Structure 1
Amino acid sequence: MSDLGFTWRTHKSGELQIFHRGKLATTLRGAKASDFLDLAASGDTGAAQQEAARLTGNYKRGNERLAKGHPRNA
């Protein structure tokens, strides 16, 4: 489960854009961008994908299975 659909692009200005399935999800600047790039450069693709999910808020929160069985969602 190392590929969650996130890609990223850096710019000369130091900005880091994170894309989810080809659409812009967030833009990072400063220390957050630097920390993320350090993690991505470490070679652990799975960890970089998970961190991108955390930074963009695009991750499962654990309640999806419970909500699926709720009567209003049936």
Structure 2
Amino acid sequence: MPRPHGFAYERRRDGSVVLTHQGRAAGVLRGGRAEKFLVEVETGDAQLMMARWTGSYRFGNERRARSHPRNQGGRTGGR
């Protein structure tokens, strides 16, 4: 599984935290969530934590899952 990369965060004066991925805004955390994020990111793998908090964490199996027989049901719409 490839390691996440390209994430960064910026602490704002108002206490919020802005998360970016490859220079684009990926999320804003405020209040207690911002505080919890800062504790986690400083104690663990920063790139992995930012990927988890933004929901940009991929497992690498999306392409394989698309061609699985269970996902070929003939229904249209959705995604």
- Consecutive unaligned residues of structure 2, counting only runs of 5 or more, are 73-79
Scaled by the length of structure 1, the TM-score of the pair is 0.71
- CA–CA separation in structure 2 for the residues paired with 1:61 and 1:2: 10
Identity score, percent? 36
CA root-mean-square deviation: 2.3
Going by fraction, where is helix more abundant, 1 or 2?
1
Scaled by the length of structure 2, the TM-score of the pair is 0.67
Bigger CA radius of gyration: 2
Aligned residues: 67
How far has the Cα of 1:55 moved from its partner? 1.8
1:55 equivalent to 2:53? Answer: yes
Superposed, 1:1-74 pairs within 5 Å as 2-42=3-43, 44=44, 46=45, 48-60=46-58, 63-64=61-62, 65-67=64-66, 69=67
- CA–CA separation in structure 2 for the residues paired with 1:60 and 1:40: 18
Sort the Cα spacing of 1:3 and 1:62 in 2 relative to 1 into closer, same or farther, 3 A: closer
How far has the Cα of 1:39 moved from its partner? 1.6
